[in-house]
Structure 1
Amino acid sequence: MRKFVKAKAKKMLKGGRSRSATPIESRSSTFTPEPGNAQQVSSTNQSLTITSKTVVDTLETTLNVLKEVSVFFPPLQAAVGGVIECIYIYKKVSGNTEALQVLAEDLVTKTKYLQMRLEQDDMEPSGMQSIKDLVGDLIKIYQDIKEQSNMGKISKILNQTEIGDKIESFKKRITQAYEDCKEQMLAKLGYSARAFYDTDKGSQYTRHRHCLEGTRAKILENIQHWAKSSSESTGYWIWGMAGTGKSTIAMSACNLFKKSKECALVASFFCSRQIEECRDYRTIIPTLAYQLARGFRRFAVVLRDIYNADPEIASKQPEEQVLKLLIEPWKAVLAFQNQRRVPVIVLDALDECTEVQRALKPLIAAIEEGKLAQIKFLFTSRPEQPIQLLLHSNEQLNMDIPSKVKVFELHGVEKDEVQKDINAYVTAELKSIATEKHLWELTELAGNLFIFAATVVKYVMGIKDPSPQLQRLEKALKENKHQELDQLYAGVLQDVLGKDFDKDEVDTRWNILHTMVALLQPMTCKGIAVMASSGEDTVRVLIEQLQAFCFISEKDKCVHTFHLSFTEYITRQNNEKNIVKN
């Protein structure tokens, strides 16, 4: 096995260069640990058991272990030898070896893992390249410190604080070198960094902001209570029609989890129909796995093993991805520790991801079956039927037990509470040009829709001159200008009416919509069916498909629309064929 590893290493080293311009083989021969130090670390017959006679003896033993675990790969052994010499250099000028001991023990763990990978026959060339780059980084660190030592810059330091700072800087450089090696291996997962909640996606894309301070306070308080409570459900699904502020709430929740002492944001995926990789269900699981690996070392170790055993895992079916990229690595985390802070994963705007149910179904199954224990999941989406079936019940999972996903209907929040938050928002944005009357008029027009208010604000503030801004505001209030809402309605109606139906079926559904709007008051599905000369089941299915804009009330069983703008939009359309076509 040792001959095989050496042969494989030699082949790889001849085949390419590291991140610096100097080949590894030539650089690895540019230094040799000092004779005295080499003698202290060269014995390969010493016991790997760390003794505890004294702090110094413990450090000596750990360094011997470190030297031995790197022996299978000569370039790494040489580089580690340089690191060991650096430790001895700092040991001579520091009376406290505790920090060096911690570093040495950490390096033993990291190097043992690399040793294990080098001994496996299936190690990918990319994995070897990562180790090769690590060797180059370690040698560079050694050369820098050796040069400082030869010039007497280290031995002349008498201030213990300054010595401590030097040791800390050395530790950070070494740790970063190993972290870079880990990052290169994880980068092969095919994750989407643009789906992280705090990624700057660029000015050409819609960027969600966090909630204005003081708004949505009760909702955010409920989310925090759910996250930190062991008695609460594992999942929390916030759903509501377009424009109710779901993504803004999700952003704020992420910020709160980041700052919390009781919860920890460990991963996020913000779907976006505007960005290809953020609307592809195939990137969801690898992206979550990548973030978990960055946060949990044991997760990363298992994940790298799984990837090296199956480099194509990121392109496999979601069921296998959930098992291999989430469940199995998470078992390793749970086997060694309970989490001091509750880990939380946030998945936003699921409805903006194509075929999201393919990734969501195995993920929800894992949650329901307790295979991702201790992790809390926060979901947000519109109430689209495939998502609703998975998150609202267990029918699709063939399970009879109650769901572990708590459901929160965002549009069910009391209108007065929403109006108060919307007024706070428009006041913050328009107070320099608008009167109190203007602000409350806009608030009332917005109803429960933050997007209505945001659309008007964007329209009004689209020019810099205050005078035209006021004119625009008054025009918007008079005309109920909401072009973006029209585009939103048209897009959803095209999805619902423009696919998989022949002309007669499309005409039937448009007739139902016009009937519902013409009634000017809520009516049951049966009543609408009679008025539209259609089947009750057809009406019910159409309403379910349009749950972003209308819903069947549990109280009176009648069909209600969320916002007057939808009724007005349907009324304005004189040629439904053109809407579907466009």
Structure 2
Amino acid sequence: MSQRDDSIPDLNSPEFTRIIASIDSAVWDGAQVLLTVLKESADAFPPLKSAVGGFLAILDLYKTTHADTDAINDTAFRLNRLMRILAERLRDKEKASMFMDDIYVRHVNLSAALHRLVEMKKKNWFFRAAQSVRIAQEIQTICNRVAESIEELQLKIGISVEKDTKAILQEAILQNLSRARSAAYTASMPPDGVARRSCAKDTRVNIVESIISWARADWSARDEVPPIYWISGLAGQGKTTIAYTICERLQKEAKEVSMISFFCSRQLDSHEGRLLVPTLAFRLAERSASYASALLNNLKSAHDLGDQRLEVQISGLLLEPWQKSAHLRAGLLEHPIVIVVDAPDENDAGTEFIRQISLACRQKKLPGLRILITSRPHPTIEKLWSHPENERAVYRLNDVSRAMIHDEILTYMREELHEYREEDYQYLEHLARIADGLFIHASTALRLLMPLGRRLAKVEQTNRLKAIIKRCTAESSGSSNGILDDLYADVMAEAFKKLDREEENVRSRILVLLLCSSEAIHPDFVTIMERVDADLVQLVIDALYAVMYIGREGQVLWHHASFQEYILAKYKFMVKPMQVHIVRRCWEEFTHHLPEKRLLSTLGWGVHPLMLTEATIQQFHVDDIIRRCQILIRGFRSFDLV
């Protein structure tokens, strides 16, 4: 074989082809593949072309000395494995060439080490290694340096290609995958609503640091670090705020960790069970090209995967493509991808999602992923975490000492009311005791003290705070739910004060109509259903500013799910009659504009609404009816038909 002075062989010569063919593939199959790739792609990777002479020197070294030391055999095995991986990384010339700058930078160390081996070969040092300990040690050191350089190079190429998902995400079939718009922890919230926020300084420190450490633990510690973590807490204990803080910290401080978030809310599109898995799948595809490619193949085989039941979605959109592409990520993930799912119990498919994902994690079907879930301690979910493997990754907010929570709530309120008079802090202390561990109690009370659009003088805030404390103390039922209910009762009393019985009844009906469905309702819908003025509906919403607000798209939302639960329990006797009323009023309203048969088909009703009773209301999907009716209303309004 002809060689230049710098020992770079002519890669296009027949002689080089014969050299590749003569390599002992039983020992050096990786080297054989790598040299073949370099022969075919020399023009694409000029820096590596100069390394060919060094790779051949390694083969000559092994041939000359392999019988002499176990160390040489071990090093040869490692080098061959790394050469095979590097060859796989370089096969896709188009992608690998995108990172040529990185190849140039990381080739420097590799080239220097290989050049030293070539020089040793020229001086016949390989033959003298057996007689000289010094030469043998130097050869071993250089071979280790070559191995480390190859490993660094193939990892950089592999990681860069793995993270380069832009092209594949442009595929229409992936873009058409249905996704929740409001699921990300950073999702835009309505200006009148309470934006998601992180924990107040010096609060929730233990739980947050514990989760951050769990999320950032090296992939090498996977056997000691559980793949799934559960934060359990009652309504109002601050689960969402903790989840937000963890997402924010990972985003800002842990650049090495990829993070995906899905925050569920009964009022937003993130409550829809059909969107949970497709949204997570798309976000995961944004972070892993190997997974995105496997996901795309699955979707090409079954276009309707995103519309299937949860079990089929989890299998086809998550488990199968993640497992099929696992070998392409081998050795690339120093840190796992972290998925944060907040309040899945507010998602239609949330509880079943937790069950199936928990099972998949226990069966090690999602290697490289770590999943954080926050939810209420529903018995079904509690049972899942009774499994020994899951129990070591549970944080129950209800087990945190009341003294610690009291101090943290007080810290939070002082931060929010930073201009509050020092002499009035005793009232905040009292309110923190009444809150009894519920952050939502404290935040709702603060909204009463700081009404939107109004500025209260300090003395007015103090007087209002005293009134809240007095009523809550007088009415306290002692339980956590009761304490929160007492505050909601206070909010209701403030909103409905000085009303006669008839006025209160009308407003109560408006409130129940707004809250009797998980479908967010527009005030215009209420005016049509109840035949009341829009001003009256707005008055009800404004009076309940501490617990309700108007969203960006004009629908009525509430700050916390516990308020909806409180109202539906308080007015339980009105809920089914209201749902029957809604269905019948929709029918009355729309039969003026559409033929009966077409209307039944459009609204998806199997039973005629005039036959509907409170006993048969369960046959109707009221949430879906309200959604369809609101769409029809918007359509009719655009033609001035309503």
Range class of TM-score, shorter chain: 0.5 to 0.7
Paired with 2:41 and 2:361, the residues of 1 have a C-alpha distance of 48
Does the CA contact (< 8 Å) of 1:264 and 1:342 recur in 2?
A: yes
Does the CA contact (< 8 Å) of 1:282 and 1:359 recur in 2?
A: no
Paired with 1:439 and 1:210, the residues of 2 have a C-alpha distance of 21
Count of matched residue pairs: 354
The residue number in structure 2 matching 1:22 is none
The residue number in structure 2 matching 1:235 is 228
Does the CA contact (< 8 Å) of 2:185 and 2:196 recur in 1?
A: no
**Pairwise mapping of residues 73-84 of structure 1 onto structure 2 (< 5 A)?**
none
Counterpart residue type for residue 465 of structure 1 = L
1:483 is displaced (CA, Å) by 7.1
- Listed as ranges, the gaps of 5+ residues in structure 2 are 1-34, 50-89, 99-159, 474-483, 493-511, 518-561, 579-642
Paired with 1:246 and 1:479, the residues of 2 have a C-alpha distance of 27
Is 2:336 aligned against 1:347?
no
Paired with 1:287 and 1:107, the residues of 2 have a C-alpha distance of 27
1:362 is displaced (CA, Å) by 2.2
Paired with 1:53 and 1:366, the residues of 2 have a C-alpha distance of 42
The match for 2:323 among 320, 331, 352 is 331
Is 2:300 aligned against 1:312?
no
Does the CA contact (< 8 Å) of 1:194 and 1:278 recur in 2?
A: yes
Paired with 2:392 and 2:310, the residues of 1 have a C-alpha distance of 20
Counterpart residue type for residue 284 of structure 2 = L
Paired with 1:417 and 1:367, the residues of 2 have a C-alpha distance of 33
Does the CA contact (< 8 Å) of 1:197 and 1:269 recur in 2?
A: yes
Counterpart residue type for residue 404 of structure 2 = E
Identical positions, percent = 27
The residue number in structure 1 matching 2:83 is none
**Pairwise mapping of residues 25-44 of structure 1 onto structure 2 (< 5 A)?**
none
1:365 is displaced (CA, Å) by 1.8
**Pairwise mapping of residues 399-410 of structure 1 onto structure 2 (< 5 A)?**
402-403=389-390, 406-410=393-397
Secondary structure at 1:379's aligned position in 2?
Answer: strand
1:178 is displaced (CA, Å) by 5.2
1:333 is displaced (CA, Å) by 4.4
Secondary structure at 2:176's aligned position in 1?
Answer: helix
The match for 1:433 among 407, 420, 425 is 420
The residue number in structure 2 matching 1:202 is 190
Paired with 1:350 and 1:426, the residues of 2 have a C-alpha distance of 28
Secondary structure at 2:470's aligned position in 1?
Answer: helix
The match for 2:457 among 447, 463, 466 is 466
**TM-score of the superposed pair, with normalisation by structure 1:** 0.53
Counterpart residue type for residue 351 of structure 1 = D
1:342 is displaced (CA, Å) by 2.5
Paired with 1:261 and 1:433, the residues of 2 have a C-alpha distance of 36
Paired with 1:332 and 1:439, the residues of 2 have a C-alpha distance of 56
Q: What's the CA shift string for 1:111-149, capped at 9, x where partnerless?
A: xxxxxxxxxxxxxxxxxxxxxxxxxxxxxxxxxxxxxxx
Does the CA contact (< 8 Å) of 1:281 and 1:358 recur in 2?
A: no
1:363 is displaced (CA, Å) by 1.9
The residue number in structure 2 matching 1:479 is 471
53-62 or 366-375, which deviates more: 53-62
The residue number in structure 2 matching 1:382 is 376
The match for 1:293 among 285, 298, 314 is 285
Q: What's the CA shift string for 1:440-471, capped at 9, x where partnerless?
A: 12221211011111011111011313243333
> 1:199–1:237: structure 2 CA closer, same or farther, 3 Å change rule?
same
Secondary structure at 1:237's aligned position in 2?
Answer: strand
The residue number in structure 2 matching 1:422 is 409
Paired with 1:234 and 1:292, the residues of 2 have a C-alpha distance of 16
Does the CA contact (< 8 Å) of 1:263 and 1:344 recur in 2?
A: no
1:212 is displaced (CA, Å) by 1.3
Paired with 1:438 and 1:431, the residues of 2 have a C-alpha distance of 14
The residue number in structure 2 matching 1:270 is 263
Secondary structure at 2:182's aligned position in 1?
Answer: helix
Secondary structure at 2:360's aligned position in 1?
Answer: helix
Is 2:204 aligned against 1:216?
yes
Paired with 2:230 and 2:198, the residues of 1 have a C-alpha distance of 18
**Pairwise mapping of residues 529-544 of structure 1 onto structure 2 (< 5 A)?**
none
Secondary structure at 2:469's aligned position in 1?
Answer: helix
Does the CA contact (< 8 Å) of 1:244 and 1:449 recur in 2?
A: yes
Paired with 2:280 and 2:490, the residues of 1 have a C-alpha distance of 29
Paired with 1:247 and 1:233, the residues of 2 have a C-alpha distance of 21
> 1:238–1:106: structure 2 CA closer, same or farther, 3 Å change rule?
same
1:349 is displaced (CA, Å) by 0.7
**Pairwise mapping of residues 54-73 of structure 1 onto structure 2 (< 5 A)?**
58=45
Paired with 2:191 and 2:213, the residues of 1 have a C-alpha distance of 34
Is 2:177 aligned against 1:186?
no
Counterpart residue type for residue 452 of structure 1 = H
Does the CA contact (< 8 Å) of 2:196 and 2:244 recur in 1?
A: yes
1:433 is displaced (CA, Å) by 2.7
Q: What's the CA shift string for 1:270-309, capped at 9, x where partnerless?
A: 110011x211122111111111100011011111111111
Larger Rg: 2
The residue number in structure 2 matching 1:252 is 245
The match for 1:451 among 431, 440, 446 is 440
Secondary structure at 2:241's aligned position in 1?
Answer: helix
Q: CA RMSD in A?
A: 4.3
> 1:418–1:183: structure 2 CA closer, same or farther, 3 Å change rule?
farther
> 1:109–1:376: structure 2 CA closer, same or farther, 3 Å change rule?
same
Paired with 1:368 and 1:194, the residues of 2 have a C-alpha distance of 29
Paired with 1:321 and 1:215, the residues of 2 have a C-alpha distance of 38
1:225 is displaced (CA, Å) by 2.9
Counterpart residue type for residue 384 of structure 1 = H
- Listed as ranges, the gaps of 5+ residues in structure 1 are 1-47, 63-101, 111-171, 395-400, 500-564
Does the CA contact (< 8 Å) of 1:433 and 1:466 recur in 2?
A: no
**TM-score of the superposed pair, with normalisation by structure 2:** 0.48
1:354 is displaced (CA, Å) by 2.0
Does the CA contact (< 8 Å) of 1:318 and 1:362 recur in 2?
A: no
